[in-house]
Amino acid sequence: MSSVLLCNRDLTSPAIQQACNINLQQLSAPHCPSPAFAKANTPYLLNGHSSAQGRRIQTLLSPPQVARPVTELSLTFGEDNTVAIAAMMEQLKDYNIALTGASTSVYGERISGFAKSVKEYQVALLTYRDAKLGNASNHRQLKQQAHRTFQRMQAQFRAELHATTNHISARRGIPLTNPERGINIARSSRNAAKLHFANEIEAHKLVRFSQYTKLLGNGLAVIDFGTRVGNVRNSYRTGGHWERDLFIESSSFTASAITGIATAKAGAAALGLLMVATPVGWVGLLIGGIAVVAVSAGSSIAMNSLVQESGGSWYDLIMSTLK
Partner 1 sequence: MSGWNILNIAQALATPQRAHKMLENSPVSFLHANSELLKKHTNKLDRILAILFFWPLMISGLSMALLALLKSIGLFAN
- Judge whether 215 and 69 are in contact, CB under 8 Å: yes
Please say which residue, 35 or 284, places its beta carbon nearer to partner 1: 284
What are the φ and ψ backbone dihedral angles of 47, each rounded to 5 degrees?
A: 55, 30
Please say which residue, 188 or 313, places its beta carbon nearer to partner 1: 313
| Count of alpha carbons within 13 angstroms of residue 145, beta-carbon side | 15
# chain residues binding partner 1, by CB under 8 A: 25
Diameter of the chain by CA atoms?
80
Amino acid identity, position 23: N
103 binds partner 1 (CB under 8 A): yes
Please say which residue, 49 or 265, places its beta carbon nearer to partner 1: 265
Please say which residue, 103 or 227, places its beta carbon nearer to partner 1: 103
- Judge whether 270 and 319 are in contact, CB under 8 Å: no
Give the dihedral sign, CA 169/174/179/185: positive
Distance of closest approach, residue 264 Cβ to partner 1, in angstroms: 9
Binding mask 52-91 for partner 1 (x = CB under 8 A): ----------------------------------------
Q: What angle do CA 166, 294, 84 make, to 5 degrees?
A: 20
- Judge whether 186 and 129 are in contact, CB under 8 Å: yes
5 binds partner 1 (CB under 8 A): no
Binding to partner 1 (CB under 8 A) within 280-309 occurs at 282, 285, 299, 302-303, 306
259 binds partner 1 (CB under 8 A): yes
Taking the C-alpha atoms of residue 198 and residue 189, their distance in angstroms, rounded to an integer, is 26
Please say which residue, 1 or 258, places its beta carbon nearer to partner 1: 258
> For binding to partner 1 (CB under 8 A), which residues are involved?
103-105, 255, 258-263, 265-266, 268-269, 271-273, 275-276, 282, 285, 299, 302-303, 306
